[in-house]
């Protein structure tokens, strides 16, 4: 489950986040006994401070706290994310081996679109769309690569189950174990797709713990995701009504860093040292 929250950091920066929430204990007879706790860390992009988010979810509703509880936080009701993909789409994630080729094709399209001749106002809108597109291409590559690797390896699936709190804490009856085993790949693919596309902060440790792939410093990616939020929800303007800082150079820099990251992953995960295909 997910929950949308917002709060103000001590540095004065307003934060809007979507955090994961555990389901309440549906086996409990009373609401007071149905509570489940979830913990997540949110890093302020402005000052770098880490905030621990605690969510307690019960039959009767949920409560959310930031750090020691002294920070005022606004939050909505927990909800289940809508599935963006049906079973055929998830099976494509599992079977497809073209993750890097798809990413590279999207990056080549960005290169061509950057040289399109349009007026200044239209060009800003184009840059807004291209920034969001590059971030989406990165997320799609990270998700599809991880899903393909894990769901096609019993060893990696076991690593995921052993290192991921959600899977390791799941409890099943004997009947459910056999039922889950039959559709394990789809179960894992569904969980990973929703997690990676909605919570990029967990991708880095998952790649490290399961695939033994180190990203290095990806502060640039978290910053790009934050800017993408303005691009998608406010067409390139921040809460104060000012244009976000996007330019040809910033798009090119984002592309270069994205290609470096995907090349590193291809080298470590797929053993392909020649995947660097940066257009710049």
pLDDT at residue 263, as a whole number: 94
Is residue 279 included in any domain, yes or no? no
Residue 280 lies in a domain: no
Residue 140, pLDDT score: 85
One domain, residues 115 and 241: yes
Cα–Cα distance, 192 to 203 (Å, whole number): 10
Confidence tier at 81 by pLDDT (50, 70, 90): low
Check residue 167 and give its pLDDT: 63
Q: Which of 25-34, 104-113, 179-188 shows the highest mean pLDDT?
A: 104-113
Same structural domain, 106 and 207: yes
The DSSP secondary structure of 162-205, one letter per residue, reads HH-HHHHT----HHHHHHHHHTHHHHHHHHHHHHHHH-GGGHHH
Is the pTM for the entire model greater than 0.85?
no
- 135 and 187 co-located in one domain: yes
Q: Say if residue 124 is in the same domain as residue 240.
A: yes
Domain range for residue 171? 87-270
Say if 30 falls within a structural domain: yes
The answer to whether residue 276 is domain-embedded is: no
In a domain? residue 266: yes
Are 102 and 35 within one domain?
A: no
Could you tell me if residue 275 is inside a domain? no
- Domain ends where: 53, 75, 97? 75
Q: Is the pLDDT of residue 156 over 60?
A: yes
- Burial class, 165, CB count within 10 angstroms (exposed 0-12 / middle 13-18 / buried 19+): exposed
| Mean pLDDT across the chain | 81
Residues 22 and 128 in one domain: no
pLDDT tens track for 221-279: 988 988 888 887 788 888 888 888 999 999 999 999 999 999 999 999 877 655 565 56
How much is the pLDDT for 96? Answer: 63
Lowest mean pLDDT among 8-12, 91-95, 246-250, 256-260: 91-95
Q: Where is the domain boundary, 75, 110, 137?
A: 75
169 against 47, higher pLDDT: 47
Spatial distance between the Cα atoms of 135 and 51, rounded to a whole number of angstroms: 24
- Whether residue 70 is contained in a domain is answered as yes
């Amino acid at each position: 489950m997910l929950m949308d929250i917002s709060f103000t950091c001590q540095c004065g920066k307003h934060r809007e986040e979507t955090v994961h929430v555990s389901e309440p204990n549906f086996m409990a007879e009373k609401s007071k006994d149905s509570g489940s706790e979830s913990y997540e860390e949110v890093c302020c992009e402005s000052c770098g401070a880490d905030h621990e988010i605690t969510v307690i979810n019960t039959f009767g509703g949920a409560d959310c706290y930031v750090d020691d509880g002294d920070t005022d936080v606004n939050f909505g009701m927990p909800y289940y994310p809508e599935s963006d993909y049906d079973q055929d789409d998830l099976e494509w994630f599992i079977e497809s081996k073209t993750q890097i080729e798809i990413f590279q094709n999207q990056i080549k399209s960005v290169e061509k679109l950057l040289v399109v001749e349009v007026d200044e106002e239209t060009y800003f809108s184009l840059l807004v769309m291209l920034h969001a597109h590059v971030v989406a291409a990165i997320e799609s590559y990270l998700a599809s690569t991880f899903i393909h690797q894990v769901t096609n390896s019993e060893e990696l699936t076991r690593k995921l189950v052993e290192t991921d709190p959600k899977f390791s804490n799941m409890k099943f009856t004997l009947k459910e174990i056999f039922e889950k085993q039959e559709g394990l790949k789809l179960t894992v693919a569904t969980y990973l797709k929703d997690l990676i596309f909605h919570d990029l902060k967990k991708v880095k440790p998952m790649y490290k713990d399961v695939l033994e792939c180190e990203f290095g410093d990806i502060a640039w990616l978290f910053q790009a995701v934050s800017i993408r939020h303005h691009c998608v929800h406010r067409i390139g303007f921040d809460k104060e009504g000012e244009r976000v800082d996007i330019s040809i150079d910033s798009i090119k820099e984002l592309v270069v860093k994205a290609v470096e990251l995907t090349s590193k992953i291809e080298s470590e995960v797929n053993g392909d040292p020649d995947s660097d295909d940066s257009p710049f």
